[in-house]
Structure 1
Amino acid sequence: MSTYQNAKELSNLTLGKTTDYISQYNADLLQGVPRSLNRDSLSISANNLPFYGEDIWYGYELSWLNSKGKPVVAVAEFRFPCTSANIVESKSFKLYLNSFNQTKFVSWQSVETTLVKDLSAIAQANAQVSLFAVNKCPALAIKESKAVCIDELDIEIKSFTLEPEILKPESGTNAEIVSEYLVCHLLKSNCLITNQPDWASVYIDYTGTKICHERLLKYLISFREHNEFHEQCVERIYCDIQQFCQVKELSVFARYTRRGGLDINPFRSSSKAKAPNLRTIRQ
């Protein structure tokens, strides 16, 4: 991962550094990270992405003052297209949202408009923002998933080094074509800069040659000591499955647990379908 650690684009990030919390609106707190830092290593061209998708964030600690100085609180949904030049660095996002705390806005719409403007500028693409009352956010309703969980498979793990080749089927494997919707709640990776753990449930929906569940589970567990941002992990999972498994259709959707009032949920798919509304109990 030295290409990340030595990248000049990461050298000025507030992530991993002591910072002050500013409670007056300041758009300059936002920082972007080029998606190309990850995609170059995956041989992905910005002009020819092998997937469609978006990154969906939920903010649970957004507050501001109305024109009379009374606090307002909201849950925010942020959507960034996977075609954006940058991802928003999460600590800078938290600091930016914190700067709304003691700032007066005339309406919910003015807050939403401000968020769209600032986030679109840092991502270099059109961001979408929706604000909800804290007790009325339909997208965060917990629904029972129909995905088949592979976590209980009895496997032995001897290494926690990222091992994409393990996905490659053994010779002579039956090339049965199936459609499966799988979930693993054991995905753990670490922040690229701070090494803090990132926990997620990853949903894999595919049609193609049947993927060995044991091999898939071992592969996902091999991220356990891997350092990468959320969005980059999901793109790596997508590309590795595409490379080593014979799939015709594929979607990968990771639901990460929140940190500092934000959760990040990257979705990548071979189709233009929108990410499903899907919240896990850990969120």
Structure 2
Amino acid sequence: MSQNTPEQSQLGKASAYIDRYDPSLLYPLPRAAKRQEIGITGRIPFLGADLWTAFELSWLNPRGKPQVAIAHITIPAESTHIVESKSFKLYLNSFNQSVFESADAVRDRIRADISAAIWHGEAVQGSAGVKLLLPEVFDREPVHELDGVNLDRLDVECTHYQPAPELLRAALHEQPVTETLVSHLLKSNCLVTGQPDWGSVQIRYTGPQIDQEGLLRYLVSFREHNEFHEQCVERIYMDILTRCQPTKLSVYARYTRRGGLDINPWRTSHPQQPPANIRTARQ
């Protein structure tokens, strides 16, 4: 089977917006190559998921009346592929003039199509999760910032704008601590177009205490780095794991939406429930 590459995708190109259901619009990208860059070969050393929110989802009911919903989509980190975000948008647009019997039918169709894409021809080992929120519950959707100690309070000098793991330090010979640290200064750029991707990141860990100034400077160092959201979070996870040696670690980022989609990768060292897919103020 041929391998898709980001450069072959619709990113940065003029696209026809098809409004009749077409699952072939989904463009899977393999995770393996980028994982190899950060030293991951074979079994991945974390659990987790990519939590997507689709704010622009609509279809027609059997009487031709438009319906709208917000979709929460959970893609397991162990899947062999991600779905390129513009192709995801084009795919969702293809529902616009398509008739579906019910919201449940739309949900089931999305789940089947995304599950097939993220395993890209292999047996589906873990299905995507899909939840549709209909207009009657829109008013219950909260806005909440990530919990934790705010690193951005620190008055640090920043001089690195490409990932600099050497900035990470921890008190390896002192008693372990348990902390949750947060920054809103994460910025990276799209791997293909170079457009800015803005995010907030939460780091939960147990282990040698991480130097907060070094961690903040490290997070800022992604500012001119070109990589997809999922790949940035896995890079952050592996750098902290390698250099700070925590016994438990979770890294969770919430990126601002583009094209009606936000992508929120979460990686963790130990089994637990995924974080609630609650948007921040910037999303």
TM-score clears 0.5: yes
* Aligned residue in 2 for 1:182: 181
Q: 1:155 to 1:198 in 2, by over 3 A?
A: same
Could you report, residue by residue, the CA deviation over 1:121-177 in whole angstroms, capped at 9, with x for unpaired residues? 1101411111111452699422465311110201111231220111034xx876231
* Aligned residue in 2 for 1:142: 143
Q: TM-score, normalised by structure 1?
A: 0.92
Q: Structure 2 counterpart of 1:151, which letter?
A: D
C-alpha RMSD over aligned residues: 1.8
CA distance in 2, matches of 1:163, 1:16: 28
* Aligned residue in 2 for 1:57: 52
Q: Structure 1 counterpart of 2:256, which letter?
A: T
Q: 1:173 to 1:44 in 2, by over 3 A?
A: closer
* Aligned residue in 2 for 1:163: 164
Q: 1:121 to 1:139 in 2, by over 3 A?
A: farther
Q: How many residues align?
A: 274
Q: Structure 1 counterpart of 2:260, which letter?
A: G
Shift of 1:259: 0.5
* Aligned residue in 1 for 2:31: 35
CA distance in 2, matches of 1:262, 1:27: 17
Q: Given that residues 200 and 257 in structure 1 are in contact (C-alpha distance below 8 angstroms), is that contact kept between their aligned partners in structure 2?
A: yes
Once the two structures are overlaid, the 10-residue window that deviates more, 110-119 or 223-232, is 110-119
* Aligned residue in 1 for 2:133: 132
Q: Structure 2 counterpart of 1:41, which letter?
A: E
Q: 1:139 to 1:259 in 2, by over 3 A?
A: farther
* Aligned residue in 1 for 2:208: 209
CA distance in 1, matches of 2:174, 2:191: 37
Shift of 1:274: 2.2
Q: Structure 1 counterpart of 2:220, which letter?
A: I
- Structure 1 runs not aligned, ≥5 long: 1-6
SS in 1 for 2:204: strand
Q: How does 1:72-87 map to 2 (within 5 A)?
A: 72-87=67-82
SS in 1 for 2:191: coil
* Aligned residue in 2 for 1:245: 244
SS in 1 for 2:267: strand
Q: Structure 1 counterpart of 2:206, which letter?
A: T
Once the two structures are overlaid, the 10-residue window that deviates more, 14-23 or 84-93, is 14-23
Could you report, residue by residue, the CA deviation over 1:229-269 in whole angstroms, capped at 9, with x for unpaired residues? 00000000000000100211000000011000000010000
The partner residue of 2:111 within 107, 116, 119 is 116
CA distance in 2, matches of 1:18, 1:178: 50
- Structure 2 runs not aligned, ≥5 long: none
SS in 1 for 2:69: strand
